[in-house]
Amino acid sequence: MRGLTEANLRTLAGSRSFERGLGYLDAVSGVEVGDGWVTASVHGTERYEVELTLDGPGGLAGECDCPYGLEGNFCKHLVALGLTVLTQRESLPQQRKAARERAQNLDGWLSALSKDELLALLREQIDEDRQLRRRLELRAASARGDLAAVRSRIRELLDIGPFAQYGYVEYADARAYADQAGQAVFAIGALTGSGRPADAIPLAREAMRLLAEAMESVDDADGWIGQTGADLAEAHLDACRAARPDPEELARWLVGHALGGTDDGLTGIDPLDYKDVLGEEGMATLRKLAVEAWRGNRRGWAEKYLMERLAKAGGDIDALIAVHAADLSPNGHTHLVIARELDAAGRSDEALSWAERGIRDVRDLAAVDTALVDHLCERYAQAGRLADAVAVRRDHFGARRSLLAYQQLRAAAQTADCWPAERGGALALLRADAERRQRGRYGGPVLVDALLDDKDFDAAWQAATQTGAHDRQWHTLADQARATRPADALTVYLRLAEPLTKQTGNTVYEQLVALLLNIRDCHRRLGTEEEFALHVTTLRTAQKRKRNLMRLMDEHGL
């Protein structure tokens, strides 16, 4: 109980859910205390079942079947139950003791029943609980080896019909469907455990197909069906390890499953996980079939991925390079992947050649994978080929002409001790763009941003005056010029502030007040404080109905 406190409830839920939980205290009913847990129903939009674990390995925890709780969150319903339990703190030890005694009494009573009495009790429960009856029917069919019955029951369990009102399983019902599908996985595993793994293999494969088909009509945002698919794949692998099927047949099935496209990654089967089952003969067949499939469709994603896995597993770097080289991306990304693989294999000269080829093969350097440019320049720098690094950066900047490309060119040129010469050419390109009114990604000429980044503020101001600039750039220019050119900065601030006076909203008010503080600083530097006082008085008169703005100005002494 030490972990159950208001503070811990607030920490787990967050302030918003905690405060909302306070409004649900009267909605808690049916509180049941167990040994280390408490359950109840909480009536909200619907009735939700909640459970608090009081002293688990991770401390206080809880589960709720409301949508927010199913996402793994500690919801308002759990807060309401926790606060309700806290009001019963004094009686809780006695309730937990009573729960332990009830469990012990039940266990003792069941142990004392005869076989016939236990069967009668079980039959009574089967009559009342349809799901329990179906689970036991499936286990019985598995135990007696009735494959037809097991197959029929598995198909029923994987049918989405009972959970789909309009042919689709909604998010709220996905977990219930996954729990039912999990019974099919259990049945397949039970066949293997009872000494019939050869029968479990085809059932597992059929279940994979049915689950993949069902997945197309299920909102599996939380991954419950995905986990069931992974469990099903594990059951198939266990059955194969126990049954030792024909290695060539298994290899053909694995390749077909990997390339069929129907699974869509649901089971996550990796053919290499079956290496011990396949043996040398099966692995040879697997490689042969994979190569044939890849040669028939060198650009197929599944074919390439399977070939990559086999090549990496076998340490065949040349086969891996051949797979990548058969489908080179136009932006140079594949060249980069090949270069990195060769670098990892210690073949640095070949890696460098592939990186250089990537730059040559790209038709438009503006669209090149920038990671390839970075990789090549890094390798040039390591080899002491600084001039080559500058040349690559120069070409890339010439094609892209962004601030980042300018910064990267500057860094390379400074390392090579040739920045003054490079800078002139780069700025000439940016000046031509500015004169053609070409803007950067965030508005305004890149020329102004580049000069600002160079801390050449006078040149940046002159460029902005000549070619124009974005308000963001003018603001930065004014901030930099305020100490030495307060009159120029004041003109900019007043222009930027004027449209804000016609807008509303706290964000706008914060921006306006920040500008007013800068305007005040400029007037102080110019010795025109009285002019600023008149400006503020006029502004207050015109904006007096904006109470939040008035409050914010008061806070800053405006």
Average pLDDT over residues 120-135: 82
Query: How does pLDDT run across 536-550, given as a tens digit for each residue?
Result: 999 999 999 999 999
Per-residue b or e along 73-102, where b marks 16 or more CB atoms closer than 10 Å to that residue's CB = bbbbbbbbbbbbbeeeeeebeebbeebeee
- Mean model confidence pLDDT for the chain: 89
Cβ proximity of 360 and 330 under 8 Å: no
pLDDT of residue 260: 83
pLDDT at 36 over 90: no
Average pLDDT over residues 204-214: 93
Query: How does pLDDT run across 217-242, given as a tens digit for each residue?
Result: 999 887 888 889 999 999 999 999 99
Strand-pairing partners, residue 363, are none
Strand-pairing partners, residue 64, are 50
Q: What is the 3-state secondary structure (H, E, C) of 366-426?
A: HHCCHHHHHHHHHHHHHCCCHHHHHHHHHHHHHHHCCHHHHHHHHHHHHHCCCHHHHHHHH
pLDDT at 53 over 70: yes
Measured between alpha carbons, how far is 444 from 473 in angstroms, rounded to an integer? 7
pLDDT at 441 over 60: no
Question: For the chain, what percent of residues have pLDDT higher than 70?
Answer: 97
pLDDT of residue 147: 84
pTM reported for the whole predicted model: 0.65
pLDDT of residue 5: 87
> How many other CB atoms are found less than 10 A from the CB of residue 206?
16
Average pLDDT over residues 412-440: 89
Domain range list for the chain: 6-112, 385-471, 482-555
Measured between alpha carbons, how far is 144 from 153 in angstroms, rounded to an integer? 14
Helix (H, G, I), strand (E, B) or coil at 63: strand
pLDDT of residue 443: 73
| Of residues 557 and 58, more confidently modeled | 557
> What is the pLDDT confidence band of residue 384, given thresholds at 50, 70 and 90?
very high
pLDDT at 12 over 60: yes
H-assigned helices in 261-402: 275-296, 301-313, 317-325, 333-344, 348-361, 370-382, 386-400
Query: How does pLDDT run across 148-162, given as a tens digit for each residue?
Result: 888 888 898 899 988
Q: Give Cβ neighbours of residue 76 (< 8 Å, ≥ 6 apart).
A: 13, 17, 18, 20, 21, 23, 24, 44, 68
> What is the pLDDT confidence band of residue 356, given thresholds at 50, 70 and 90?
very high
pLDDT of residue 149: 85
Average pLDDT over residues 381-406: 95
